[in-house]
Amino acid sequence: MSASDTSSVFDGSSSAHKPFQGHEKRVLSVAYSPDGNWIASGSQDETIRIWDSNTGLPVGKPLKGHKGDVNSIAFSPDGRSIVSGSDDKTLRVWDALTQEGHTGKVNSVKFTPDGACIVSASKDKTIRVWDTRTGKASKPFNGHTASVYSVAYSPEGNRIASGSADKTIRFWDSDTGMQVGKPLEGREDAVRTVAFSPDGKYVASGSYDKTLRIWNALEQRAVLGPLEGHTDWVLKVEYSPDGHLLASGSRDGHVRLWKANSGEHIGTLEHPSAVRYISFSPCSKRVATTCNDKLVRIWEVASRELILPPLADHKSSVQVVVHSPDGTLLASGSRDWTIRLWDSQTGRPLMAPLKGHRLAISDLCFSSDSQMLISGSEDRMIRWWNPLTGECVWSPIYCGARVRAISCSTRQHVAVASGWSDPQVSVRDVTTGILVLSKETDKHPSKGELMFTPGFTRALAWSRGTQLASVGYGHTVKVWNSKTGVDTLDGLFHHTGFITSIDISPNGLLLVSGSEDRTICLWNMASKEPVMDPIEGHTGTVKDVKFTLDGTRIVSASYDKT
């Protein structure tokens, strides 16, 4: 995605249609609804807009409430709710139909596959899991020593992977809150983004070294890369739902499309500024992007052409954009503090911007049933929204620090990463909001928090079972049992630089980590030992790593432009 006030939808094979216009500032995030009919965008204008993905027309008014940039956005699995994350440090969940919503910096939000929980990552260095029914959070997962940039659930929803500015990746058991293994360290730069392949067998990584890499998570070896072409930081990597394509977005203003199995570059989607977010439609035939021009663009993958005018209702850059699992909606979060919901097919905004956050939206995620949208913001708040109505489902949850990342599991849990000086990761029940994790620590024994080393969480990743992994500022990865909060793996030391990204294989047996030391490491989750020597090849920081859907390959992204 780029740094403009527009969003675009691309077909995978040609160039863009006219941008969806409406935001007053940069569009920071976009997302498709599960049914593909709507697109939601988040902007620096603090609003969220919903668009008809087929026509590009706005659906309803902008969703207002955020008081900061909307950095991240996601639809619930049933498409009825939208979650947005903002710089105002809050997450907001909106009713996608009524477009009503509720009101730290939240960097990333993700729903669990079953929509019951949401995981968020924050600048406060923590990850939290939230119950989508009550909005209540689990005890924070603490361990990262710097801001957490990204969180991701494994396809089965039993683990969470987190990437952080502390250059580490951490894995967590989503049911117990236990850290799985030790923090993966060794990166020279922050872990910017992490993503699982649909089958969980491969990991793709994107890095400030400008490159991507794909790794075989089962054989624990590099299979593709470095994939070069980008001339600036790789900020986002995303697999298509069918697992055939991999898209990478860079600060160089380009979205590059790659064949996931061969690494062949098949096309480039050009933007006027830094690409901030990428979201494939459920059918894998369309892709929505955002940059700093306040627009959401929808492209046809086959032609690589815009199929709709840009969604242009945000007043500032769009931080995050996500599709609802059912493909009907697209949610976007912006630096305009708002979240917007769009018809993913027509690009039509479905309602007014979801407002409530007081700073930029940092992350969004939908529940697995598409009925809930959760937002994280720089205002330190997490909000639950009904994506069908835009209604704020619960009162905002205060995280105490900027929310960096959010991720939902298939088991009704949501993990949230937040904080900087006092990083935390927490897990909540999606439907009740009740904290499902508790762990006493010497630092804050009265809080029952999962406390780790100082620093913020960079990345989160769920396994298909109960484990959540996280990476903070350093050289280690922590893996937790989301039910008990007990560490299962506490510090996989192998990298010589800070860890930037992590991912768990679909079968939950392997963990891959990318680092500033330009290497990738594969770990045996059971033995807590590296499966092989560090994988070399990148000439810059490995920014992101992801398993492919079948778990046989790994994708990596690096600052070396590959």
> Burial level of 270, CB count in 10 A (0-12/13-18/19+)?
middle
Q: Is the pLDDT of residue 99 over 80?
A: no
DSSP sequence for 236-272: EEEE-TTSSEEEEEETTSEEEEEETTT--EEEEEE-S
Q: 2 falls in which pLDDT band (50, 70, 90)?
A: very low
349 or 134: which leads in pLDDT:
349
546 or 84: which leads in pLDDT:
84
Query: Which of 6-15, 120-129, 150-159 comes out lowest in average pLDDT?
Result: 6-15
Cα–Cα distances in Å, from 171 out to 224, 349, 407, 453, 482?
A: 24, 37, 13, 15, 11
- What phi-psi label fits residue 496: left (phi over 0), alpha (psi between -120 and 50 degrees) or beta? alpha
Query: Which of 43-57, 149-163, 200-214 comes out lowest in average pLDDT?
Result: 149-163
- Rounded CA gap, 157 and 112, in Å? 6
Query: pLDDT tens digit string along 345-360?
Result: 788 889 999 998 988 8
Largest alpha-carbon pair distance within the chain? Answer: 57
For residue 351, what pLDDT is reported? 92
pTM of the full structure = 0.50
Query: pLDDT tens digit string along 228-242?
Result: 999 998 888 888 999
Q: In the CATH scheme, what architecture does the domain 4-558 have?
A: 7 Propeller (2.130)
Cα separation of the two ends of the chain: 17
Query: pLDDT tens digit string along 383-394?
Result: 889 999 998 887
CB 502 within 8 A of CB 510: no
CB 401 within 8 A of CB 385: no
- Rounded CA gap, 69 and 362, in Å? 7
447 or 357: which leads in pLDDT:
357
Closest among 469, 491, 481, 490 to 439, alpha carbons compared: 481
Taking the CA atoms of 88, 92, 97 and 99 in sequence, report the sign of the dihedral they define.
negative
Query: Which of 97-106, 333-342, 441-450, 512-521 comes out lowest in average pLDDT?
Result: 441-450
Q: Is the pLDDT of residue 446 over 50?
A: no
Query: pLDDT tens digit string along 30-56?
Result: 777 887 788 888 888 888 888 887 777
- Rounded CA gap, 208 and 230, in Å? 10
DSSP sequence for 277-327: EEEE-TTSSEEEEEEEEEEEEEEEBTTTEE-S--EEEESB-EEEEEE-TTE
CB 363 within 8 A of CB 114: no
Q: What residue spans define the domains of the chain?
A: 4-558
If you count them, how many residues does the chain have?
562
DSSP sequence for 446-465: TTT-B--SSS--BEEEE-SS
Mean per-residue pLDDT, 379-404: 81
Mean per-residue pLDDT, 115-139: 68
Query: Whole-number mean pLDDT of the chain?
Result: 74
